[in-house]
A and B are shown apart, each in its own frame.
Chain A
């Protein structure tokens, strides 16, 4: 039981090859960050995970089911995908309608719809926006509407495509809390992000992509500690990792606590 990419390749119509021979397994309940330069193939890769793209070569299995044999609508019940651009996803007139849409489509009892919507809203902090038109609320907050809409479908795996873009302190904290809650429920979270401090704080496993391929898959410490990977995937080390390296401190230092501990010798 897991999401398995087996030598999966994908070309867009017209022949542009976006993913080449990807092999990757996401276990239930796991939390994985996908990082890498613009155009590396991150979004294409996650769209293969929920059946929006079917591999041109190789296989993608969701809990043993080959995505080729099922519709994206079927797979979306297991793997939820939150679009990079919220405007590509939203189509209802109010935030509430947008979040209720899928549970209603599933014809769930009213009580269950209410439970799911309430939980999704609590996790995304959208209480005060429920009656608004999604297009009248600020862009970074609109992103939470799309996250809530996907959470209300209660998938087993959730994919966030650049949720950190444009987020302020409030938004980043909501995201971090949300991921912790999903982890408690055993829901796997795959997140594409360019925010390396966010990665350092929240992810144990990091997948680095560059030019259509996965070039590294390891712990945050391993990825940020590997200069060749950092350079090839055009990511940046966390600020305090750079600081620790400049000071010649040993070990994998990723966060503020790591660095203070190393310097004050509390360990």
Chain B
């Protein structure tokens, strides 16, 4: 496979771009924010996305999806990065669908994958602290009678405030930092004992902190094998990191394009500021780094579709590089816009803010750099 997208993927990307521009632009994001909408995404837009098949892009046709590949999903995620569109595409259609497909049994797949494809929201509840650390699981699931009792808490659950179900990582054996003894459960969001607190982050999107107070689930809610949930979870988190990298790539390119346009129109000292070499060289350097990001992202997306043994390294390379360059490009964007870049009226700052949240999701720069070194034996 060449490192270019196919015609079909290009069509998907173009139609995503057109749809998002018309229906889910930054104006919508500002409106939801300024009206203090509790979910910060438009259910109408999400339903339309589901109808277009995006919610089921990577779900096999047998379970009501489109059976497309991850490279295609990556193109749509990249476009949502450009348009700053908030939706459960990442949380439910990419991450939870991936995990269900990896770990679910036949009847779980039939039930929950079809639900996701139709636009229902399932969120992964795996983080317990402020830094990505999927092995650190203190929420417990204790065997009781025919089922399990879940106790503990999860933080920063994407779209957790509106999710219909949660996939929860729980400790069923081993010590609290061990990859062994982690099990996955799919739990209805309205189960007795779950309480939610919403948290609005810098990007104006909302996520939820969840508390599980003796939540009873039956055995058929166990996803995959008991004590062996870490493997599918880790693979899903690699794919999540790649998905976020694709979104970051969209953020990076759009902030860069906007910055270049601004350099071509803003005048100071009787000159277009883009004619100053001090700015030109910084812009050209960013162009080069973005070329590297593009290659790492497409390579990683293809790695998912090819089920590459390199997937963990590809994920960590893509995420760490995209984090670093998102930081560079959004910082330079605000700096080159100058005073206007500091105002809420100008969009460039919104990219900076979304970038910071996306950079932190599923492992930040340091996490993935460290992991890359570890994977390479140093």
Q: Are the chains A and B members of one assembly?
A: no
